Structure 1
């Protein structure tokens, strides 16, 4: 077991609240723990992450992997849970903005990523234009039908598995024909070497948008969410997101959703941490 101490604030209980919204995540709020599926050198690893510290003095116990996987596992977990981000700096920045009350209420909430960029991209495609409950249901059906389980934790179906499917295989799970084509199409892009997510990660936001938007079934909303929750880009604000629009409407007491021009004005003082503004606005209406 490894013990990791990081600089506060960091509210792991709020992290678990958000992770528990997805039925595929193995969260235990009572034990303040989550099991994280990872592929390290193509080997499935299930890491156990348990919080032992406080919001201001966070400490984590990490286990579930062999010594030869330790460095890669901890590096990946640090990226997923954003343990190296100076949240106090973010917090103090927003205390001087119109979002100060939100940042006090949700003190120490980090921008936690999906467990890997590939599963994030798949989830974004499945979730687009669906209500959250049914989106989770569809994703869970796909994963439990074509993915695999280890130590009580589910792994997303690998690209080779999805690429071999026909649309009717996903239609049987209540996917629409088009959504089935999109998911299978993404997998085939990866298997056939036209899409390399490890290379995509190295690019700036605008280049990622330009590359991914060319893929069938991938629109701006999908790429924006991928940038936020797949790659953890810190300065991203998806103005087309209905949740953010609704949160702003409530926050500023508007009688209708804010216009794009208003949203552009609001966000000026929130840079360079727009992703945290997005996260805390979502938190305010969850």
Structure 2
């Protein structure tokens, strides 16, 4: 069956920060599953992913002169190429990945006068949290990404993608969906570099999604119908995920942010958030988790957005 393509165009807000999106998808210097582009005319991202069971390539191009994203996903079933629901699904995917529905303007207005955070918000005006393509990608990355360094985490992610081995005709490897991951067993994941705990967590997660015990995409769809902070069944998601051995609170909060666009996760367990907070408030002492949790609490329902701003400080150990 011949693969076809879907197309859509999306308007972007004034000052949209495509550079943040490119940085998020540029973590792997080998560009195995993602390629980024920058030129005087505009910027772009190509991402390999599995779309409705098929290897696909999502192309996003942003023309600086038009403030518009042109999006193509190549590799879809020809029967769906002109389907309105499929077009809407593509537009929803891109809006999700670019964070276009995140209420960043309201957040910045609400806290512009904060003596410590306010200047950082002004410096980072328009900052959004780029999203993984799917909640499964965000969760599986959070599981494999807990390594001694970002470089080690990216290397393990690369090995996982290669082990599954789904490739688009463009040459890009595709980040696996749950069904693709289940082609591997724990032994194959161990050979790819996963610990036994990580391998079991990945397989349990994938199996639960495939069998409908974790309807990750349905949950994301509920969030995309309105404000994710109010529409998502966060407590249910958290409880079901924490029941999986190898998934802890940090993994859940990260996945809720990067996979579902939930902006109220308290990322006080994140070391980079605590380092950024220490720098922001000018403390000579390291900030512990409890202190960071207390400091972030008044910023609900946007605590994860505060964390994203703290990440931009890039303070070393």
TM-score for the superposition, normalised by structure 1? 0.88
User: Which residue among 3, 14, 35 is the counterpart of 2:46?
Assistant: 35
Give the RMSD, CA atoms, in angstroms.
Answer: 2.4
Aligned counterparts, 1:48-197, within 5 A? 48-53=59-64, 58-65=67-74, 66-68=81-83, 69-97=86-114, 98-150=116-168, 151-197=170-216
User: Conserved in 2, the CA contact under 8 Å of 1:270 and 1:277?
Assistant: yes
SS in 1 for 2:260: coil
* Separation in structure 1 between the aligned mates of residue 240 and residue 152 of structure 2, nearest angstrom: 29
* Separation in structure 1 between the aligned mates of residue 192 and residue 52 of structure 2, nearest angstrom: 31
Change (3 A) 1:41 1:182: closer
Alignment partner of 1:3 is 2:32? no
Gaps of 5+ in 1: none
1:251 alignment counterpart: 280
Q: Deviations over 1:142-197 (max 9, x none)?
A: 10221412123332233334334332212222222222222222223333443321
Q: How many residues align?
A: 284
Higher deviation after alignment, 40-49 or 122-131 = 40-49
Change (3 A) 1:247 1:193: same
User: Conserved in 2, the CA contact under 8 Å of 1:170 and 1:180?
Assistant: yes
* Separation in structure 2 between the aligned mates of residue 88 and residue 205 of structure 1, nearest angstrom: 23
Higher deviation after alignment, 148-157 or 187-196 = 187-196
Higher deviation after alignment, 34-43 or 138-147 = 34-43
Higher deviation after alignment, 171-180 or 192-201 = 192-201
* Separation in structure 1 between the aligned mates of residue 305 and residue 26 of structure 2, nearest angstrom: 20
* Separation in structure 2 between the aligned mates of residue 108 and residue 242 of structure 1, nearest angstrom: 24
Change (3 A) 1:214 1:115: same
Gaps of 5+ in 2: 1-6, 75-80, 223-231
* Separation in structure 2 between the aligned mates of residue 211 and residue 114 of structure 1, nearest angstrom: 20
* Separation in structure 1 between the aligned mates of residue 100 and residue 209 of structure 2, nearest angstrom: 29
SS in 2 for 1:27: strand
* Separation in structure 2 between the aligned mates of residue 240 and residue 74 of structure 1, nearest angstrom: 33
Higher deviation after alignment, 179-188 or 84-93 = 84-93
Change (3 A) 1:145 1:165: closer
User: Which residue among 227, 239, 260 is the counterpart of 2:268?
Assistant: 239
